[in-house]
Structure formats: structure tokens, C-alpha cells
């Protein structure tokens, strides 16, 4: 369902939709995510006239505050961002913000919230759609949604307008069983179309561009298959350690934190078939078909297709950094992985025989997320004595972060002798071709929440299929760790030597972005 709105053109085929009035309730409004990402994103939408004049924001958290104190806190969070706009703009935005203090598991708090929301709607003389953004620990999702339901705060009329949307952040469970339990509890109160499971990676420009690159350009799709593609590498590397997330991370690990969601979502966009239309159901249906085609890991030979590792002390740039076991609040006996790489296969006509290599880790040499599609080498070289195997294959690299853009490597003539060729990269960065500040991922996703567009959000069947792929691996690591020993790698490197060995067995080497 896409709620009605007014279309406005911003040059070429650049279409944006203005949302109808809505009220955004941020649970956990005093927390880091709200002030670092959500409120700045909403301010950007307001500054770009993509936040309806009658829309309002209500913060909800345990911290005792009144409206003015919360507005002061928001103003401080937006201080740097607001420098680029007229001074009056921030003041206008702050007037749209309110605050309710309450306990997440106390029914009385939801009565207070309901009364405040009714009062705000009455002052606006309008009944608005509502978004409840749960920027809170995942353990609170079920009790908060139940109390929202008990208070009548997520009840819609027969037509679904004014709508009630609930946004939740990952993790969506920690294995298949817990994910199914969470989904059951959410859907005992909400309809699937009311649930917006957010993955901020899907809001990044390059990730969104994958579908347009593939399906708006005739030249790519005919070669986007096992006849022409040799392998695909997907990398999500970070230079930071666990930082303030030690409590969560030591109970989750890299595979749960990155593979089940970010990595598999990117793989799905690269490998899915063309959807019938660019809408939520069509796109997500094709993702589900793709997930069903992924070959399960052979648990008896797990170490042949997956590597797990933990960072030791080392250097990031010129700075010495501690190993994972030396980080604050990490158990000395921890076997939690901070790096994983895997070889994954897709059993369908399009991708049979093409390996997808996924890797992600903390404390690696460089912060980068990219998708590299490597094409097969030419079958024969006419440029004697240069052999076919001497020529580097064509590679299409989609840079997700930090420098969003893409690059295509081809072989081309170089100045000099008659027979003089080498690799040439044709590339662009969004920052070079887009004027002004590039939209943040949360801007795109929050706007879509207001519009009722779930295309870039994750459906429950996708989550269950993703967990069905990785839950057996996690159980094997816990019950039979010897089948896939925990390796180590120095901080500031590109990971363990065992990851390089996995690639050598497949006659491939990892890209060094």
C-alpha cells in the first residue's frame, strides 16, 4: 500500500513524493540513535519540504523532561547541521517537537501518550497517520507493541487510513526460533503491512542504485548471469572495534550482526531476477525467490566454505589498538567472532556455478563497503604474445560507503607502442555529480515510512529464510567448534590468513579496496 501524496519533479526523471500529515513517535528519544540519525534526518526532510507542515514529532523515553527541555536537547544535536540553513528554519522545526516521559512496560505511560497524541491532533485540527519508531533494545519490541495495541494506539480503520506504522531496527531475533517467536508476537497485534523492519544499508544511494543499474540499462542484464560472470565479492569492512556495543556484540557476533541482514540483502539485490514492477511486493517477492535458491552450508565440511576469526592487538593507521579480548566488558574466554567470510552458491539457472564471496569484519585495514562483480576472462587473445590469462578481467565495483559510486574496469590501449594496453577504470562518485548535501540513508527510509512504501524494508519471510541459512552454522559453532576453528588476525589487517586460503582453493584472491 502506498499512501496518497503530491508528486513534484526535481529535474529529469527525478520524482519525489510529498507525504500526507503524520505524527512520528520516537521511542528511545533520549538515546544515541535518535539524536545522531533520526532527528537530523527528519530535519533534512523538513528543510527539503518533504515533511508535511502539519506533521509532528513526539519523543518518548524514561528520562524526565518537558517539551522545552527536549527541544533544547534536539537543538544541540542539530547545531552543526543547522548551520547550512537560515536561522529561522531550526526554530520552526523545533516547534513541531513534543515530549512524553514514561516507562516502556507501564500501561499507564501509554494512556498518557495517547492523551498527548489526541491533544496534538486536536490542536492541528487533523487526524494524522502515525509512525512508532522503536529505537529501543530489541528485547522491548514485543512488550511495547503489545502495550501499543492494548492502548488502541495501532488500531486502523477498515481502509487503513489514518495508518499506524511501527518501525523496528535489527536484530530481528538471534536465530530462526527467536525470529519466528518475535514475528508471531508482532503479528498478533499488527498486520504485516504495518511493520517496517529497517536496514539502513538499504537506504544508501548505491544499494538503491543496484536495481536501476541492472533494470534501467539494457547493456547489463544480458551479461548478468553465469555465462559471463566469474564470481562476486561483497565486502563490509570497519576499522572500529566494538566500542560502546560490547554487551550486545559479545552475545551476537559478526555473523548475526552483519551476514543475516546487511550482507544477504546486498547479495539479494545483486542476484535476484527482474521484478514485475518497482513496488514493495514485486521486489520483495523476487528477493524471497533468490533466498530460497541459496545452497545450504555443508555442516560436515564447514571450514571449507566459511571462516570465523577474532581480532588481536595491532595498529589502525599509526595508532596501537587492543585485541578483542582486551576490550572493556569483553569476557576473557569469549569465542565471539569479529570477522567472517563465506563462499555461498545459488542453485538456479542464472547463477549455477558462480561463487559469491562475502566478508565482513571489525578492526580491518580500511572502512569500506562494496560489491565487486568480476566477469570471466576473454576466451582467446589475438594480441600475441599477450595471453588471455595475462589480461585482467572486467570488474564492476559498486561502492556503498564511504565514497558512494561505481567503477568499471576495462582493458584499453595506452599511449606508446602499437601493442600497449592496460586496465582503465571508468568511475564516478555521487559526491562529484550531485550538487549539495547527499541524502542520508535514514532520510530515504523515514520518508518511505511516511509514504507507506515498504520496498526498502524487510518482509518477515525474508528474515526467516535468512535465519534458516545461518542458524545451522551458528549451532554448529556452538556444539562442534572444531569443525570451524576460531582464527585470529591482527587489527589493521584484511583478516586471517585462513580467509586467503579459502579464496586460493577457489582460484580467486580477495580484492584490496
Cα torsion 497, 295, 297, 486 to 10°: value is: 30
Q: Do 182 and 143 form a contact (C-beta atoms < 8 A)?
A: no
Q: Give the 3-state secondary structure of residue 26.
A: strand
| Surface-to-core class of residue 313, CB atoms within 10 Å of its CB (0-12 exposed, 13-18 middle, 19+ buried) | middle
Round to whole Å and give the CA distance between 179 and 200.
Answer: 19
DSSP string, 411-476: EEE-SSSSS-EEEEEEEEEHHHHS-SPPPPHHHHHHHHHHHT--TTSB-HHHHHHHHHHHHHHHHH
Nearest of 402, 439, 433 to residue 44 by alpha carbon: 439
- β-pair type (319-321, 368-375): unpaired
Round to whole Å and give the CA distance between 329 and 513.
Answer: 32
154: which DSSP letter?
T
Residue 35 annotated to the active site: no
Measured CA to CA in angstroms, residue 392 lies from 257, 387, 427, 487, 512 at distances of 34, 11, 17, 31, 15
Q: Do 291 and 356 form a contact (C-beta atoms < 8 A)?
A: no
Among 165, 231, 262, 380, the one annotated catalytic = 262
CA 248 to chain centre: 18
Measured CA to CA in angstroms, residue 190 lies from 149, 394, 410, 493 at distances of 8, 47, 50, 45
Q: Do 131 and 449 form a contact (C-beta atoms < 8 A)?
A: yes
Q: Give the 3-state secondary structure of residue 405.
A: strand
State which H helix or E strand residue 292 sits in.
Answer: helix 280-293
Round to whole Å and give the CA distance between 16 and 19.
Answer: 10
**Is residue 385 reached through a cis peptide bond, with omega within 30 degrees of 0 on the bond before it?**
yes
Q: Do 25 and 154 form a contact (C-beta atoms < 8 A)?
A: no
List residues with catalytic annotation. Answer: 262
Amino acid at each position: 500500500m502506498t499512501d496518497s501524496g503530491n508528486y513534484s519533479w526535481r529535474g529529469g526523471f527525478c520524482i519525489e513524493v510529498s507525504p500526507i500529515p503524520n505524527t512520528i513517535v520516537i521511542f528511545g528519544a533520549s538515546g544515541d540513535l535518535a539524536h545522531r540519525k533520526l532527528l537530523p534526518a527528519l530535519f533534512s526532510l523538513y528543510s527539503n519540504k518533504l515533511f508535511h507542515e502539519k506533521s509532528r514529532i513526539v519523543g518518548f523515553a524514561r528520562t524526565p523532561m518537558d517539551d522545552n527541555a527536549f527541544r533544547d536537547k534536539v537543538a544541540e544535536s542539530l547545531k552543526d547541521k543547522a548551520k547550512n540553513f537560515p536561522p529561522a528554519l531550526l526554530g520552526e522545526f523545533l516547534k513541531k517537537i513534543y515530549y512524553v516521559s514514561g516507562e516502556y512496560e507501564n500501561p499507564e505511560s501509554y494512556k498518557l501518550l495517547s492523551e498527548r497524541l489526541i491533544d496534538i491532533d486536536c490542536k492541528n485540527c487533523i487526524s494524522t497517520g502515525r509512525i512508532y519508531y522503536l529505537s529501543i533494545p530489541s528485547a522491548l519490541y514485543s512488550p511495547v507493541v503489545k502495550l501499543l495495541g492494548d492502548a488502541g494506539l495501532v488500531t486502523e480503520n477498515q481502509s487503513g487510513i489514518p495508518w499506524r506504522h511501527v518501525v523496528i531496527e535489527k536484530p530481528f531475533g538471534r536465530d530462526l526460533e527467536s525470529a519466528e517467536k518475535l514475528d508471531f508476537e508482532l503479528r498478533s497485534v499488527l498486520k504485516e503491512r504495518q511493520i517496517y523492519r529497517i536496514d539502513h544499508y538499504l537506504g544508501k544511494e548505491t544499494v538503491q542504485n543496484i536495481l536501476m543499474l541492472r533494470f534501467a540499462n539494457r547493456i547489463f542484464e544480458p551479461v548478468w548471469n553465469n555465462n559471463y560472470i566469474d564470481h562476486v565479492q561483497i565486502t563490509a569492512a570497519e576499522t572500529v572495534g566494538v566500542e560502546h556495543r560490547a554487551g550486545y556484540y559479545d552475545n551476537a557476533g559478526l555473523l548475526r550482526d552483519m551476514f543475516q541482514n546487511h550482507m544477504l540483502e546486498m547479495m539479494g539485490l545483486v542476484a535476484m531476477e527482474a521484478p514485475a514492477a518497482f513496488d514493495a511486493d514485486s521486489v520483495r517477492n523476487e528477493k524471497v525467490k533468490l533466498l530460497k535458491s541459496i545452497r545450504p552450508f555443508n555442516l560436515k565440511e564447514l571450514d571449507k566454505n566459511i571462516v570465523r576469526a577474532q581480532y588481536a592487538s595491532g595498529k589502525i593507521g599509526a595508532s596501537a589498538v587492543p585485541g578483542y579480548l582486551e576490550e572493556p566488558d569483553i569476557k576473557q574466554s569469549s569465542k565471539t567472532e569479529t570477522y567472517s567470510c563465506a563462499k555461498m552458491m545459488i542453485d538456479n539457472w542464472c547463477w549455477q556455478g558462480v561463487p559469491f564471496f562475502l566478508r565482513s569484519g571489525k578492526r580491518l585495514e580500511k572502512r569500506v563497503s562494496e560489491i565487486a562483480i568480476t566477469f570471466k576472462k576473454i576466451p582467446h587473445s589475438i594480441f600475441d604474445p599477450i595471453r588471455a590469462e595475462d589480461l585482467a578481467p572486467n570488474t564492476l565495483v559498486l561502492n556503498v560507503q564511504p565514497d558512494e559510486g561505481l567503477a568499471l574496469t576495462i582493458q584499453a590501449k595506452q599511449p606508446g607502442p602499437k601493442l600497449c594496453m592496460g586496465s582503465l577504470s571508468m568511475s564516478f562518485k555521487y559526491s562529484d555529480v550531485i550538487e549539495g548535501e547527499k541524502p542520508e540513508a535514514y532520510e530515504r527510509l523515514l520518508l518511505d515510512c511516511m509514504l507507506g512504501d515498504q520496498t526498502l524494508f524487510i518482509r518477515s519471510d525474508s528474515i526467516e529464510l535468512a535465519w534458516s541459512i545461518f542458524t545451522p552454522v551458528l549451532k554448529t559453532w556452538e556444539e562442534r567448534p572444531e569443525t570451524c576453528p576460531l582464527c585470529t588476525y591482527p587489527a589493521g589487517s584484511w583478516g586471517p590468513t585462513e580467509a586467503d586460503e579459502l579464496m586460493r582453493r577457489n582460484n580467486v584472491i580477495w580484492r584490496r579496496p
